[in-house]
Structure 1
């Protein structure tokens, strides 16, 4: 299909009954395939069959998240929330048929280790008996999105969204920073009962789904649903333990250097966003100027990225400016019918705008490459979440030689801030992950008890923080503004696992940028046909589950940061 501008892409609500009928026929075909070759062909066919449905679902989601107040797109989003589980379950039946076929090993030969393992996880993670609970869960997430997406706070004489408070949180005046956090806190406190109630329902709902499927609780089922291949809770615990023992001591030194640099002798929570005495790095202003800089950057990085950025910009595949009614956060999604990635963000004129640009472009670049590889079936274009985040987080570092186009005189400041923040993130990511394991294993905790666990984990992984009686945050409720905890439980440690890859790409690029880029490209080209461990090995990186694998990386990061104080 020829490239098409986003504004020209037409939307039709799919005929669910027709699709479910097609699914039945495909399951029968998969069950009856008489040879390995035939089975591989059926796999490609079922992969293509979902392209139009998936494209329609993504178009509805994009339009809805771009304006959560639009009644038409809200109704379309509700349609997919209600019908998505039935389609997912029909896909599971197709997977069941593939797995039952005597020639199933042909799929591993054709597509690598993730194809069959992924189908096994899909079968273990879904069941018709959970459909009603899944629908209820989708509705709970939509409610949370409306509470969050509808947030408008009165500040500085304006009505601001939560993302638009970002610049005030980085203001050099501590009173302004604190007031911005208090304004945000007041909104969440005003919705306290609703947010607590929604989370209680979500935990009970997902644990009920887990028990129907024979698991003790959702923390077990989540590894299946998140399609974790080759590792489980024990490996993740080993990873978190290493962060606590080998990374946190290095992070304490980073924080001490930051305090010295900013002149803030006693760090409170609302001081965390301040990294420099004369203000944080600011990207160049203006949408057009930034987009022009991004085009130059990707043209110079490689021929592959040059072709990619032209496609994205020429076809209006970015919506990155913040406005009322727009959902918070940033994401990249794919429109398979058009072989087009789409990038959504909320720019707020802080350096995070560049983070989100390079981050989502990393996801989109991988999608763009995979969509054009005829050997890769549509549903294996993207690896597991923890691996997909490697594409994005490593891209943030591998574009560094061109960051001067986006930051000018603030380039060195940004390089330091970005390295520090990525490194510091490991601690926060582990808090989010351990918190969720504790919540689902102890579903009867009261809201206050949940908040106490959050504060305990803050102390374990980020002992330098003083909440200084800040409302909302000070009582340990800050986790409620972390979208992932409500919307996609257990999808957060993924960022930490990919950060371990990204930091290694960063350290490699300091020695030899060309070599680091070649390794990255090699990893990207394996698309979704390899597991996290295999992808790390493809690029020659250390796998962070092994004891002692993190210490040297942490020390090298600490050293680089110490040597590059601005």
Structure 2
């Protein structure tokens, strides 16, 4: 930006800039970077689709989609996923469109463009130095539960947090368990932004879950972790700390920050889910061309998160933007778990609003139980239901939209 060489996380953070010209420039720079790697990514994806399809055939399956559901030992069916796609499109996207009208008004723009769809409307980043970020998140965790802060302080003191940005550092973030030592390690490439703050809280949800498992169940092999469960506690931690974002934001900005976390909850209900639908299409149509793949990604994106956005003139850029999702390459069919678990996390937030202490204790109880139980049993221990049927999607969508309204002028949402 401005002629300087900047890492991708910094450019992505500028998508939240209040200056529309800066947002647009950041958006175009990211798409330009995608375009540069697109030929290589197409070749990689073409090869992966064929290899994975052949693996499925060799194992006696018709396609890789059917194969992966068995290898992942999923406790729900392919049809359940298709039903989930449809229910979110039916109940969540209309609400998302209504909220988009609010953001369009707040941005004072006539046309809602792709670079407007990410604006956080927060005047300043929540921190400037990583040390400040860690200080604040430690305080937020401590105000929620002493154990949460204890684990965070331990990780900080023992070099188990690698959070800053530096040249050549891989983008993204993750939490990984270290079974021999019984520890967890959080890696992230963070530039000051609202997303970076939430990302650290998210990863600490994983870390607390990991420490509780080590404490109560002993070391677990990585394959035993099921994403539908793990993501419940990462999303859940985000929402348990929703009422403590004033650690980073002034009274004036506090509600805006809370609103943005709920906006993120909306995106987690349809964003990963649309990525799941994209993968269902890829692996049940293994002979597709790169052009068809891009066209399908645009079509699905337009049905879901970009439904309220004027995408004219950017169909190609949007279609190729699948290259920015690591999961499609490295972790096939690992996206829908984010959406499923967000429904559980929203139930946890609903419980927290009624009884904070009980909700936190339920979080800790569920995060520490034997993972050999069914997903439904572990969710029940956490005080929520493992359910992504139409009634639950509708109910949680209404709860989320109602909660969102408390942080904006009621009259703005029709």
Which secondary structure state, in structure 1, belongs to the residue aligned with residue 92 of structure 2? Answer: helix
Q: Structure 2 CA distance, aligned partners of 1:378 and 1:458?
A: 37
What residue is the counterpart of 1:424 in the other structure? Answer: 267
1:166 Cα deviation from its structure 2 partner: 1.9
1:536 Cα deviation from its structure 2 partner: 2.1
**Structure 2 stretches of 5 or more lacking a match?**
410-414
Which secondary structure state, in structure 2, belongs to the residue aligned with residue 361 of structure 1? Answer: helix
Structure 1 contact 319–345 (Cα < 8 Å) conserved: yes
Cα deviations across residues 268-299 of structure 1 (Å, max 9, x unaligned)? 111111132xx456213222222222222223
Instruction: Indicate which of 249, 254, 257 corresponds to 2:102.
Output: 257
Q: Structure 1 CA distance, aligned partners of 2:345 and 2:83?
A: 19
1:385 Cα deviation from its structure 2 partner: 0.9
Structure 2 contact 27–115 (Cα < 8 Å) conserved: yes
Residue 518 (structure 1) aligned with residue 361 (structure 2): yes
Structure 1 contact 169–270 (Cα < 8 Å) conserved: yes
What residue is the counterpart of 2:412 in the other structure? Answer: none
What residue is the counterpart of 1:102 in the other structure? Answer: none
What residue is the counterpart of 1:50 in the other structure? Answer: none
1:401 Cα deviation from its structure 2 partner: 3.2
Residue 506 (structure 1) aligned with residue 352 (structure 2): no
Alignment of structure 1 residues 108-187 onto 2, 5 Å: 155-187=1-33
What residue is the counterpart of 1:309 in the other structure? Answer: 152
Residue 404 (structure 1) aligned with residue 246 (structure 2): yes
Q: Structure 1 CA distance, aligned partners of 2:3 and 2:222?
A: 49
1:434 Cα deviation from its structure 2 partner: 0.4
Residue 242 (structure 1) aligned with residue 104 (structure 2): no
Which secondary structure state, in structure 1, belongs to the residue aligned with residue 180 of structure 2? Answer: helix
Instruction: Indicate which of 270, 283, 306 corresponds to 1:440.
Output: 283
Larger Rg: 1
Cα deviations across residues 294-345 of structure 1 (Å, max 9, x unaligned)? 2222233223223212211110100111222111111000111111100011
What residue is the counterpart of 1:341 in the other structure? Answer: 184
Q: Structure 2 CA distance, aligned partners of 1:298 and 1:176?
A: 33
**Structure 1 stretches of 5 or more lacking a match?**
1-154
Instruction: Indicate which of 386, 390, 402 corresponds to 2:228.
Output: 386
Q: Structure 2 CA distance, aligned partners of 1:295 and 1:238?
A: 40
Structure 2 contact 294–320 (Cα < 8 Å) conserved: yes
Q: Structure 2 CA distance, aligned partners of 1:224 and 1:390?
A: 22
Q: Structure 2 CA distance, aligned partners of 1:317 and 1:190?
A: 34
Structure 2 contact 128–192 (Cα < 8 Å) conserved: yes
1:377 Cα deviation from its structure 2 partner: 5.0
Q: CA 1:204–1:426 in 2, change beyond 3 Å: closer, same or farther?
A: same
1:432 Cα deviation from its structure 2 partner: 0.3
1:205 Cα deviation from its structure 2 partner: 1.1
Greater RCO, CA 8 A, separation 6+: 2
Q: Structure 2 CA distance, aligned partners of 1:298 and 1:540?
A: 20
Residue 545 (structure 1) aligned with residue 388 (structure 2): yes
Structure 1 contact 268–467 (Cα < 8 Å) conserved: yes
1:397 Cα deviation from its structure 2 partner: 0.9
After TM superposition, the structure 1 stretch with the greater mean CA deviation from structure 2, 509-518 or 293-302, is 293-302
Q: CA 1:381–1:209 in 2, change beyond 3 Å: closer, same or farther?
A: closer
Instruction: Indicate which of 358, 374, 397 corresponds to 2:201.
Output: 358
Structure 2 contact 178–184 (Cα < 8 Å) conserved: yes
1:481 Cα deviation from its structure 2 partner: 0.6
Which secondary structure state, in structure 2, belongs to the residue aligned with residue 341 of structure 1? Answer: strand
What residue is the counterpart of 1:145 in the other structure? Answer: none
Structure 1 contact 383–529 (Cα < 8 Å) conserved: no
Which secondary structure state, in structure 2, belongs to the residue aligned with residue 390 of structure 1? Answer: helix
Structure 1 contact 358–396 (Cα < 8 Å) conserved: yes
Residue 284 (structure 1) aligned with residue 127 (structure 2): yes
Q: CA 1:172–1:338 in 2, change beyond 3 Å: closer, same or farther?
A: same
Q: Structure 2 CA distance, aligned partners of 1:281 and 1:252?
A: 26
Structure 1 contact 254–561 (Cα < 8 Å) conserved: no
Residue 206 (structure 1) aligned with residue 52 (structure 2): yes
Q: CA 1:223–1:506 in 2, change beyond 3 Å: closer, same or farther?
A: same
Q: Structure 2 CA distance, aligned partners of 1:390 and 1:381?
A: 17
What residue is the counterpart of 1:130 in the other structure? Answer: none
Under a length normalisation based on structure 1, what TM-score does the superposition of the two structures give?
0.69
**RMSD in angstroms over aligned alpha carbons?**
1.9
What residue is the counterpart of 1:196 in the other structure? Answer: 42
Alignment of structure 1 residues 462-541 onto 2, 5 Å: 462=305, 463-470=307-314, 472-474=316-318, 476-541=319-384
Which secondary structure state, in structure 2, belongs to the residue aligned with residue 407 of structure 1? Answer: coil
After TM superposition, the structure 1 stretch with the greater mean CA deviation from structure 2, 525-534 or 498-507, is 525-534
Q: Structure 2 CA distance, aligned partners of 1:250 and 1:541?
A: 23
1:381 Cα deviation from its structure 2 partner: 9.4
Q: Structure 2 CA distance, aligned partners of 1:288 and 1:162?
A: 21
Structure 1 contact 284–407 (Cα < 8 Å) conserved: no
